[in-house]
Structure 1
């Protein structure tokens, strides 16, 4: 078996060449630091749900950029990229199939507006959009439905998070929130 890669904060990365498997065309990026999001005990209690608490706060403090009737948009407190947004229904539901038709429609509409606003303000060239449904699927907050909108740019990937254990986010969250909130069309949010 190949020797393990050097240790990163006590976690060893290993090569797969020595394991019994049929090789495929995919490369794997092992991210053991993400286990904190899926291990037992990492989910907040329902009464401590950050997505239920956020709408009760001032928009600036909760990082909310827009509010709709059934859902709202806020910056991710732990972004993958600058401008990483979340679209959440106000109602505390865990999965997309529990959402009402009105919630589904507004989540979709807010997502489209978010894409337009991020394209205008951040000049992004693409997006990763998705929902992790349930703890087993890697949802950081599994009890409250939320959709990620991650802006992407050519050449925005680097190995800083893996090698240095650090994610470089070039702008402060409050700055980004203010810019997106100012650019949000007034007719699409309350």
Structure 2
């Protein structure tokens, strides 16, 4: 037993040590420059098959790593990070597409609630914070079950492509 073993585990939490991340946290390592995935999708590139609806200045896309089936993101075509930098037309279309997303998800999936919001900046949880996107996440009572809580595994009862087809077909034209 080492002196570290004697410190115990007062909070009962498991620890996953990732010391290699400190260089990233300190800003010493640049992210790989593969371009913005939202810009690629806006231009019909990789993963654009996840796009549910395209508007004039924005589009709606399924989250590749959804919290729940039907987890959508409303994304302006233009590469902009801050909500305040959207044009009036972009702001209006993002709002209208969000309303449409709520209506379509209600029609297709009958959720009991929603989480809707923006994560502005990396510190706020925005993993792709350089390109603004608004999350629309359907919620059901009990959607975080024992698999999520105990096994850190999310069970999604529907394939992403099936979810996309249902939402796309139900989208207002």
**What CA distance in whole angstroms lies between the structure 1 residues aligned with 2:117 and 2:72?**
11
Q: 1:101 aligns with which of 79, 88, 97?
A: 88
Does 1:111 pair with 2:116? no
Report if the CA contact (8 A) 2:67-2:137 is conserved. Answer: yes
- What TM-score results when the alignment is normalised by the length of structure 1? 0.75
**What CA distance in whole angstroms lies between the structure 1 residues aligned with 2:51 and 2:143?**
25
Q: 1:173 aligns with which of 137, 160, 171?
A: 160
Higher deviation after alignment, 155-164 or 114-123: 155-164
Number of aligned residue pairs: 160
Runs of 4+ in 1 over 4 A off after TM superposition: 38-44, 58-61
* C-alpha distance 62-50 of structure 1, shift in aligned 2 (>3 A): farther
Does 1:90 pair with 2:52? no
Segments of structure 1 that go 5 or more residues without pairing to the other structure are: 13-31
Does 1:120 pair with 2:107? yes
- Residue matched to 1:28: none
- Residue matched to 1:11: 16
- Alpha-carbon offset, residue 56 of structure 1: 2.4
- What TM-score results when the alignment is normalised by the length of structure 2? 0.82
- Alpha-carbon offset, residue 5 of structure 1: 1.4
